[in-house]
Chains A and B, each alone.
Chain A
């Protein structure tokens, strides 16, 4: 018991003696735990809002739609007028097995909405004034449709900055906005996308009266019909969709005998969507955020691990050399290791608490499912399991990083008395021979780096992780850019995700900077004698400073280059969709930026170290 108290007391004293280090370390681990907390918290958030919306709007289990056939090779619509689109196929579905109720068919016209001088693509759905039994959109402002009035879907209204009472033009005709509503029958803006003229368009959704819609339909050519279905067993909706989904052959009309191709091709069969698919789409925003945050938290956690490992390595080396101090403390290297372990575990716990708090506090804006759904997140789900996971991760970082040096120290206790002999530098004959051919700063840099291969590896790993993270963020950005709506409207999905990605990128860079600072500290401390000796033998302070910098910059450069394929691979693993690779210039800029940042961070301590009086250092260092 007394020993534990001693260890804790020594740990407390250590923290007081290196307050800046402790603070930086807590910040490092907190970054990781906060993002992890956010990621975990968002897990439960995805499902709830859609369910609330479905309940509020009496959402359908299956949505069926018949659309006009794709335009022919020369772009002209096949079949001419909308009359070729036959809602009869939809009616057939109402008699299918398992269907207990339906609403519709409603017309759905591809048209445009003009407001505040800007035009956007919309789909206009024709509705009864009386409420439907299935899929009655929930009004959040204003009133339901009337002649001359249009109700706008809320997410789209937010993006377009449209409010109740505004005067707008739909399909060229003037309307007034009578209300804003949400629905569970369609993915909220801008989830649904369609191809128009070769590029992706995300149309908004508006509701009109049947009469207005019909008038619109006459003027437009692209009219679809949409029907909502309720099943006896909602859970069977996906199976229902699969069962009634047209096969590829059918949709391409290949089943008909070759010679019997009709002059007018039969109308395409209805496309079905289950409510689970809609739910998935609706949750995409938060889901993507969560994926980004979890991946980010992994990267940040690894960087924190590297930081702690470097710190521990440097501290152990420093403490093992001060034999007198050790004896005064009455300790063995095992004691030193336990003190360090206790110190870092406590700091990790503090960081875990801080991360949990920050994550919990910053969760609501990120958990907001977007304007297209009601019901919010229904309170952030924050279970005991989440808390335990975060604490476990933080402590694991501290323990894993301290473990290797601690075990090693416990084993070399008998050799301790010779001071530095407890941690002799490693020798790489090839590296030494290679460095002999290089100019003096690189000669010194390579040799300093080669003395502590583990630390050089941590430095490279840190760079790899950071660059990988940034490359992944860049890839995500490229993907977002490709998916971005072509209109001038705000795209809530991409905006928020961009913010989250930017935040993660900033945290990665900050973490990497802290890592670099720790490594520099450890390197300068460890290379004191080598630097002084090199200067006594005739290396100028500039050469020595450049060498100490190079000892970090070279591994960082190697790591950064490796980070590019790692980042691309990371993104491919995390994102289900194909992503365009970020431009080569950005990748080059990332690598170059890493090198510049590492050089800058190491330059000042390196220069300071290279200017220390040689004689004093050599006198104080034992052979």
Chain B
């Protein structure tokens, strides 16, 4: 993890909905910096603005005020077309509701971003096969989403997000619709991503997926309230946590 220029940065980021007395301040002057290769988890109760922040990072919405920078370039002022290209080439999304196309098989879903980027069908198919292999779903490649479990669907979604080798993967409540077993599978996947040096920002209220991150930020009412770096070494406290008495 290099401490050079951050990959993603925000400055004085604000998002307001509505006007006048009924206005909702979803984000309040948020300052964020994510280094390349870092996995960041943002936690908070519903309505705290974490999803909004994610959408702004991914160019799905435009901020009311402030800047969002990707690799130093501002993306909050780009045209819709440029944003679309950005999402195509540099950003991969994973949604809570999976948002797979119901009428496409797993592999067709995964190859879609590559096709949208203009890759030849053969190249797109080959890459999709590799990615499905990486998430462990090679035997399910020809299945429709309706024939996949929730965890499998989300893994297909993650494979899809990786299709164009994005700089950044943004995950919005990736385990929100999953049971505990499925969560475990997706957990391993995100851990994997972290290990390969993929920059990931996860927004969640699930502690388990947040715990896979390098850094953890808590949000409340549109602002950051607490931040912790999660170490990877052993604190020696595992015994106490498990109930073993000290000396």
Contact = CB atoms under 8 A, between A and B. Distances in A.
Interface of A: 420, 424-427, 432-433, 436-437, 440, 443, 447, 450-451, 529-530, 533-543, 611, 613-615, 618, 621-623
A519 to B, nearest CB: 19
B93 interface: yes
B201 interface: no
Given A437-B121, A615-B55, A536 B115 contact: no
B152 interface: no
Contacts of A440: 115-116, 118
Given A427-B104, A447-B103, A623-B177, 11 more contacts: A424-B146, A440-B116, A529-B99, A535-B87, A536-B87, A537-B113, A538-B86, A538-B164, A540-B80, A540-B81, A618-B95
Nearest to B163: A537
B124 interface: yes
Given A537-B112, A539-B88, A540-B85, A618 B99 contact: yes
B233 to A, nearest CB: 38
A447 B89 CA distance: 22
Contacts of A450: 103
B103 A623 contact: no
A410 B5 CA distance: 60
Interface centre among A536, A621, A622 (most CB of B within 10 A): A536
25 contacts: A420-B102, A424-B103, A424-B146, A425-B103, A427-B104, A432-B104, A530-B101, A535-B87, A536-B58, A537-B87, A538-B86, A538-B87, A538-B88, A538-B117, A538-B164, A540-B84, A541-B80, A541-B81, A541-B84, A542-B81, A543-B116, A613-B60, A618-B95, A622-B97, A623-B100
A432 B101 CA distance: 12
A611 B61 contact: no
Contacts of B103: 424-427, 432, 447, 450-451
A537 B59 CA distance: 11
Interface string B41-67: 000000000000001001011000000
B98 interface: yes
B93 A536 contact: yes
B95 A539 contact: no
Interface centre among B61, B103, B160, B164 (most CB of A within 10 A): B103
Contact of A537 (B116, B124, B177): B116
Contact of B60 (A427, A539, A615): A615
B177 to A, nearest CB: 7
A447 B102 CA distance: 12
Contact of A436 (B55, B81, B98, B115): B115
A536 B93 CA distance: 8
A425 B104 CA distance: 10
B80 A536 contact: no
A621 B97 CA distance: 9
A542 B88 CA distance: 14
B108 interface: yes
Contact of A534 (B116, B118, B144): B116
Given A536-B87, A540-B81, A436 B121 contact: yes
A24 to B, nearest CB: 30
Contacts of A443: 115-116
